[in-house]
Amino acid sequence: MKVAIVGAAGRMGGRLIHAVLEAEGLELTGAIERAGHPQIGLDAGLVAGAGELGVTISADLATTMIEADVLLDFTFPDVTLKNLAVCAELGKMLVSGSTGFTPEQRNEAEKFAEKIPVVLAPNMSVGVNACFKLLKEAAKILGDDFDVEIVELHHNKKKDSPSGTAVRMGEVVADQLGRDYNQVANFHREGICGERGHAEIGMQTVRGGDIVGEHTVYFIGMGERIEISHRAMSRDMFARGATRACKWLSGKAPGIYDMQDVLELK
């Protein structure tokens, strides 16, 4: 399978290049960056520290995708939607780890996915997706007797808050408890804010330094507390999950899938 990577000169793009080179059955054929980026025209392998690959970084997504089968996209929702439009027009697959989609942006992505298969996942880590499964089971067992709080930590360059992974964790728990996440999520407590609502799910954010990503969901009861945590030590786990999603996507029908589909956890 031939793969192109958007954002190829960035930190995540570099890890994706290495992961594609290491993955059996995948071949890197394209590397894309935004127009005007200083590394356009350079060899993507040299930029990523992977040695010369003969793949030049380009700003022309449409031309690059002619040769590729699937686009790997770890950018931002507005950029992902533009990339989806190009892939849908060309009949190419897309795997995206972008986070921070609004409901309206998600609906727009679903329209493009009527033409092509798309993996859209806030976190490509196999471990995080195992946590999603564990959270569902924990919420099922514990029910309404435990308060739920979610704390996430990321580096100081992250633009969205809370993280897409934290939001998905909240959604998983809320769905299992029969709650609407958008109605019960509490992002801010300050001053005399009153007692904690029984149904609410607290969402707390920490930003600093170079933290790759940490998430903890607390189920807090009377006299006991359960914590389900995941800590990322490097971006490589996201990249490996993305290459796994690429291979899984081959031959799939048009539509939006996530890593729970890829890992057969549903």
Active site positions, annotated: 154, 158
List C-alpha distances in Å: 237 to 81, 87, 111, 166, 233. 24, 25, 29, 17, 9
Contact 39/65 with Cβ under 8 angstroms? Answer: no
Please give the Cα distance from 114 to 256 (Å, whole number). Answer: 8
Whole-Å CA distances, 66 to 4, 8, 69, 208:
10, 17, 8, 40
Separation in Å, CA 75 to CA 82, 160, 172, 259: 11, 12, 24, 17
Under 8 Å CB-to-CB from 38, ≥6 apart: which residues? none
Question: Assign residue 25 a region: left if phi > 0, alpha if psi is -120 to 50, beta otherwise?
Answer: left
